[in-house]
Chains A and B, each alone.
Chain A
């Protein structure tokens, strides 16, 4: 069974304190790994797609990386507006376009 585990469940950072969010996965065959951001009361917002081990993508203070077993979302010098829940999802070969989501990591950045 395909599984996605995100850790930690919650993370509190001081503004400017860099850190990483982890997404580990166990799948039969990875087609793609997706990161989303979700603000309270809103739908998930797409951030990145990673397709192969070693791939990296960046957007402002965020950088996503991928290995054969896990992905990291690195947050450099976070600001309070980076506070949100970050969701990781995998798309598996042979499963059409379906995504399997992790439970999310709630990030809180204090000014």
Chain B
């Protein structure tokens, strides 16, 4: 099992450019998440999904969009990148059963710099 994988690992964008980050998991997890991690701020939830075709806003959703067309994939899009979106982005997934929620498994991260 590869677990949670993220593509790309590094990216540099200019202000106003767009890009999509791809997250894939092979654990058949229902739930998937996108976080950003900034120095001194900890991990903050951007968007999450409780199943294929569903998405929901997290703590810091502005400037981002997401899609979950397939159960194993969760895409994070930046339509018009801003320097404030310079961060490390982590994807995670978790199992759920009968209303119980379990630990989240994280990918290796994508380091994004917006100049």
Do A and B belong to a common assembly? Answer: yes
**Taking beta carbons and an 8 Å cutoff, which residues of A are in contact with B?**
31-32, 34, 36, 41-46, 49, 87, 89, 91, 96-99, 101-104
Q: Interface size class for chain B? A: 20 to 34
Q: Which of A42, A91, A99 has the most CB of B within 10 A?
A: A99
**B:71-115 near A, CB below 8 Å:** 90, 92, 94, 96, 101-109
In the bound complex, what is the Cα–Cα distance between A101 and B43 (angstroms)? 6
Contact B107 A43 (CB under 8 A): yes
Contact B103 A49 (CB under 8 A): yes
Closest to A91 in B: B101
In the bound complex, what is the Cα–Cα distance between A36 and B35 (angstroms)? 15
Q: What residues of chain A lie closer than 8 Å to B108, measured between beta carbons?
A: 42-43
Contact B45 A103 (CB under 8 A): no
In the bound complex, what is the Cα–Cα distance between A81 and B51 (angstroms)? 37
Q: What residues of chain A lie closer than 8 Å to B92, measured between beta carbons?
A: 43
Contact A98 B45 (CB under 8 A): yes
Contact B58 A103 (CB under 8 A): no
23 inter-chain pairs at a CB distance below 8 angstroms, sorted by A residue, are: A31-B101, A32-B101, A34-B104, A41-B109, A42-B108, A43-B92, A43-B106, A44-B43, A46-B103, A46-B104, A46-B105, A49-B102, A89-B43, A91-B101, A96-B48, A96-B50, A96-B101, A97-B50, A97-B101, A98-B48, A98-B58, A99-B45, A104-B42
Closest to B104 in A: A99
In the bound complex, what is the Cα–Cα distance between A99 and B106 (angstroms)? 13
In the bound complex, what is the Cα–Cα distance between A18 and B55 (angstroms)? 44
Q: Which of the residues B31, B96, B106 comes within 8 Å of A45, measured between beta carbons? A: B106
Contact A42 B109 (CB under 8 A): yes
Q: What residues of chain B lie closer than 8 Å to A101, measured between beta carbons?
A: 42-44
Q: What residues of chain B lie closer than 8 Å to A42, measured between beta carbons?
A: 108-109
Contact A102 B50 (CB under 8 A): no
In the bound complex, what is the Cα–Cα distance between A99 and B90 (angstroms)? 14
**B:24-79 near A, CB below 8 Å:** 31, 33, 40-45, 48, 50, 56, 58
Q: What residues of chain A lie closer than 8 Å to B104, measured between beta carbons?
A: 34, 46, 97, 99
